[in-house]
Amino acid sequence: MIIGIDDTDSRDGMCTTYLCAVLLDELEEYGTITSLPLLMRLNPTIPYKTRGNASVAINIDTDQPQKVMDHAISRIESLAEMASETTNPGVVFVPDKDHERTRHALGEFFNRAVTDVLSIDGAKELARDLDIPHKSFKNGRGLIGALAACGAMLNCDWDHTYEYIAYREQNVWGTLRSVDKTSIHKADMETYPATWDTVDCANDLIVCVPHSPDPVLFGIRGKSVEDVTHAAGFIESEPIERSVVYRTNQGTDMHLIHATGISNIKEMHSYIIEGTVSRAPETIQGGHVILSMRDSKGDEIDCAAYEPTKNFRALVRKLIEGDEIVVYGSVGGNTLNIEKIQIRSLAAKSETQNPVCPSCKKRMKSAGVGQGYRCKKCKTKADSAVSIEVERDLEIGLYEVPPSARRHLAKPLVRMGVQDFELFPSR
């Protein structure tokens, strides 16, 4: 049986993965957990998501399915943040039977849950149609992620990474976390690039320890179970209640759709779009950097490097009109929020300067508005300023926001091989 769970947490506490961790231990009484649990990130632009828009799936081999279902439901009832307005848990139980239609339908639903915007009614209808036992609480929004996570478990051929999550003992939830900073840096140094997003070196931030009041103590992301477990072993901290390694679609860019043109893009979807800078970057109030890009058909969109992207903004500010770029990110409020940017070619940048005197080789001075330029000493004259090409302080290549600003689903460059740089054929 596959159990899918979603939306049990709130901004004030809990975490759907903690509920999953508890169930993994407690369900041992009724069966055998047959594969790693899944931690699935869904469409990151959905506004009613609680925090990271994560759902989980557990695969259990059991001959007591009713007991498994009853226990899971009772744990959701006792642990979910039911009082929070935005917490709307859902749980589904996909029975163990070779059912090609279920596998296919849930696989498709999973893909849409990552890239598209789905309705609660659609999820309820699908569960009924496929005859999947399910239970929803309040408005039942969690059914969407619960079904999607099961779809991911039934169709395991997607790109994936791993995360080791350590959980705090209950009596300290909501208090300041005690994790030794030096040991976190050591974990990073010893295991990067097989692990990533543990620290943000450029901005001197610890990324793997959350600040929210939920039960997570730290999470280590990496490319294999061994790598994340090895890295976690370096970390010195307060006592850990339990830990789990998840298989996850984090760091895969699964949310991105190759856009054929700016006219086709939709709000609350995420894209890879090719174009040319049509309006140079501008820093607006709040420190956000905004530029416009135009595609080959002449359509335009604003692209933003928001304040939390910190040092990434300095890179974006160096772009000028005419630079050819490929932008990766989500669309909201008619603006594309940049997660990664590929700079494909640089436009020539020129500066106007006063002309040089042919006699003394010094720069001439302006002779007054509309009067051209002159060298007082040599009595030489010139009509206009000269334009000279200046070197660009920018290299072509692929760039990303720092780990502290990275979306769960965004694929870090450390995972990207050379083939990913050639997303579009060269012109």
Q: Which residues bind Zn ion (CB under 5 A)?
A: 357, 359-360, 375, 378
Token pair 């390694």: residue:
245
Shortest Cβ distance from residue 376 to Zn ion (Å)? 8
Helix (H, G, I), strand (E, B) or coil at 375: strand
> H or E segment at 41?
strand 38-41
| 231, containing H or E segment | helix 225-232
The CB-of-357 to Zn ion minimum distance in angstroms stands at: 3
Q: How far is the CB of 382 from Zn ion (least distance, A)?
A: 11
- CA 254, 19, 83, 12 torsion-angle sign: negative
Contacts of 234 (CB under 8 A, 6+ apart): 183, 184, 186, 187, 190, 191
Considering the complex, state which of residue 181 and residue 376 has its C-beta at the smaller distance from Zn ion. Answer: 376
Give the nearer residue to Zn ion in terms of CB position, either 30 or 373. Answer: 373
Strands 300-305 and 335-345 come out as parallel
> Which one-letter amino acid corresponds to residue 313?
R
Nearer to Zn ion, 193 or 358 (CB): 358
The answer to whether the beta carbons of residues 230 and 219 sit under 8 Å apart is: no
Instruction: State the CB neighbour count (10 A cutoff) for residue 258.
Output: 10
Which residue, 242 or 381, has its beta carbon nearer to Zn ion?
381
Least separation in angstroms between CB 379 and Zn ion: 8
CA distance 334 to 358: 53
Nearest-approach distance from CB 370 to Zn ion, in angstroms: 21
How far is the CA of 367 from the CAs of 5, 356, 378, 385, 399, in angstroms?
76, 14, 14, 12, 46
Whichever of 352 and 359 has its CB closer to Zn ion, that residue is 359
Q: Closer to Zn ion by CB, 106 or 375: give it.
A: 375
Cis peptide before 95 (omega within 30 of 0): no
Q: How far is the CB of 385 from Zn ion (least distance, A)?
A: 16
Is residue 8 a contact partner of residue 79, using CB atoms and an 8 Å limit?
A: yes
**Residue-wise DSSP of 42-67:** --TT-TT--SS-EEEEEEEEES-HHH
CB of 388: closest distance to Zn ion in angstroms? 19
Q: Are 6 and 87 in contact (CB under 8 A)?
A: no
Nearest CA to 25 out of 246, 245, 247, 242 is that of 242
Residue with tokens 């041992």: 28
Distance CA 5, CA 54 (A): 9
For Zn ion, the closer CB: 156 or 360 = 360
Name the minimum Å distance from CB 378 to Zn ion: 3
Q: Which lies closer to Zn ion via its Cβ, residue 382 or residue 413?
A: 382
Measured from the CB atom, the residue of 74 and 359 that comes closer to Zn ion is 359
Residue 284 CB, nearest approach to Zn ion (Å): 44
Task: Name the residue among 91, 69, 65 with its Cα closest to residue 80.
Answer: 91
Nearest residue (CB) to Zn ion, 304 versus 357: 357
* Min dist. Cβ of residue 206 to Zn ion (A): 60
| Nearest approach, Cβ of residue 358 and Zn ion (Å) | 8
Cβ–Cβ < 8 Å for 8, 87? yes
DSSP element (H, E) containing 183: helix 181-191
* Beta carbon nearer to Zn ion, 92 or 364: 364
